[in-house]
Amino acid sequence: MKKLLILTLVIFLSENIYAQENTFSLQQCIEYALKNHGSVLNAQLDEDIAQQKVNELRGLGTPQIEGTADFNNFLEVPTSFVPGEFFGGAPGAVIPVQFGLRYSSSAAINASQLLFDGSYLVGLQASKTYQNLSRKQSKQTRTEAAVNVTKAYYGAIVSNARMDVIDANLERVEKMLGEIRVLNLNGFVEKLDVDRLELAYNNLLVDKEKVKRFETLSYGLLKFQMGYPAAQPINLSDSLEVFNLQEVSIPESVNLTNIPEYEVMTVNKNLQELDVKRYKTTYLPSLVAFGSIGYNNGRNSFDIYQSGLKWYPSALIGAKLTVPIWDGLQKSSRISQAKLALKKVDNALVLMKNGFELELESAKANYMNNAASLSIVKKNKELATEIARVSKVKYDNGVGSSLEVVDAESALREADANYLNTLYETIIARIDLDKASGNLNY
């Protein structure tokens, strides 16, 4: 008996620990998504790629060193022709001669260093801006992930609340149905009263199945937005009361500095400005220093271990200056194209700003409309609850009809559904309002 109690306690504690590990608040769901959702992970990888691109470009400004080695086997040694009189021949005669050996080898180390290139200097600036762009895009992805998780989280909570309401209504109607059946058996009420309540009870059962399927779908959507395993259970710790709709302050304007999409477009403008600057620097000269040291040898027999084989050294240093002179106005055309592209970005920024202002006005109107509707449907819910209670009391005291009770229960069910639907729409409108005003931080 003692062993059984210990085993039962262990199982109970294990289940509680497992349930706690799979219970998430909204903030925990967001944090989980920011670490596990595929889009967020890819955004982080894009940041890493941008960093590596910066490192790659910086490497172009460091010394470039390479080693080379080659081996040549002249199956036929090239023939050259020299005037015959060089060797005492008749004037105009040509003598074929072969210069060189059949086998030759060489090995060398070559180095070069970029001393000045305007395009490279601008490229360094652009690489840092590109890295900043990847960060802004990553922030945009994180914000979108957090918004999606928040909406899905409250969708799941509302589906839970719907299920609780349905269960409470079922319990109340089932109790009433049991009482009326007893009264019918004793001849105090008609069979019609029983049928009416039974019809209301069956309708609630149908509603429960619909809500149950919707609840499953809501949890599936939340898991998807989190990057959470679909087959693994999840529990939610927050309730609808956590989302306090009474503390909402309606923003007057958009905080553009906290709108990820606008920040991304602003960085794109910086990149386009650097593109114009890069093309302008192509008019400047470039200077590269280089050097090489190597050894070579030649022989007529293929014997790499030939004793006494001498390797002859060679070395050089130098510099190369390239000065643009004329390119058929290609550079000028590239600069003009880059300036026109910059104007397009400016126009896009203005258009985007106007669009965000319109989106904010729309979000404000949508939220205020939903908030106003919520206060009305909440009052209707309270009225429907009271009407259902009074109808039941009147029926129990023989001064009301079963039809009145059924109608009151139907109205209460509809009022509950309207309240939860409007509450969810108001919550979503609040999230959209925060997003449109730039008040989200993730």
Tell me the per-residue pLDDT of 44-95, one tens digit each, with 9 for 90 and over. 999 999 999 999 999 999 999 999 999 888 888 888 888 877 776 777 788 8
Tell me what pLDDT residue 409 has: 86
Is the pLDDT higher at 9 or at 316? 316
- Round to whole Å and give the CA distance between 377 and 369: 12
Tell me what pLDDT residue 230 has: 94
| Residue 179 clears pLDDT 50, i.e. is over it | yes
Percent of residues, the chain, with pLDDT higher than 70: 91
Report the chain's C-alpha Rg in angstroms. 41
Average pLDDT over residues 309-336: 92
Tell me what pLDDT residue 14 has: 42
Average pLDDT over residues 342-350: 96
Tell me what pLDDT residue 242 has: 61
Is the pLDDT higher at 80 or at 235? 235
Tell me what pLDDT residue 253 has: 87
The one-character DSSP state at 309 is P
pLDDT digits (tens, 9 = 90+) for 404-439: 888 888 899 899 999 999 999 999 999 999 999 988
Lowest mean pLDDT among 102-111, 136-145, 197-206, 236-245: 236-245
Is 23-60+117-284+328-437 a CATH 1.20.1600.10 domain? Answer: yes
Per-residue b/e over 128-158, b at no fewer than 16 CB within 10 Å? ebbbbbbbbbbbbbbbbbbbbbbbbbbbbbb
Tell me what pLDDT residue 310 has: 83
Is the pLDDT higher at 308 or at 216? 216
List Cβ neighbours of 334 (8 Å cut-off, separation of 6 or more).
Answer: 279, 282
| Residue 355 clears pLDDT 80, i.e. is over it | yes
Tell me what pLDDT residue 301 has: 76
Tell me what pLDDT residue 76 has: 83
Confidence of residue 238 (pLDDT cuts 50, 70, 90): confident
| Residue 309 clears pLDDT 80, i.e. is over it | no
pLDDT digits (tens, 9 = 90+) for 278-308: 999 999 999 999 999 999 988 777 775 566 6
Tell me what pLDDT residue 290 has: 94
Conformation bin of residue 188: beta by default, left when phi > 0, alpha when psi is -120 to 50 = alpha
Tell me what pLDDT residue 93 has: 80
Q: Taking Cα atoms as reference points, which of 241, 243, 245, 223 lies closest to residue 232?
A: 223
Q: Taking Cα atoms as reference points, which of 215, 222, 213, 179 lies closest to residue 197?
A: 179
| Residue 11 clears pLDDT 50, i.e. is over it | no
The one-character DSSP state at 326 is -
Q: Where are the beta strands (DSSP E) in 282-337?
A: 286-299, 312-322
Query: 394 φ, ψ to 5°?
Result: -65, -40
Triad 269, 273, 277: Cα angle to 5°: 165
Percent of residues, the chain, with pLDDT higher than 90: 64
| Residue 232 clears pLDDT 90, i.e. is over it | yes
Tell me what pLDDT residue 392 has: 84
**What mean pLDDT, rounded, does the chain reach?**
88
Tell me what pLDDT residue 116 has: 93
Tell me what pLDDT residue 103 has: 85
pLDDT digits (tens, 9 = 90+) for 356-390: 999 999 999 999 999 999 999 999 999 999 999 99
Average pLDDT over residues 168-172: 90
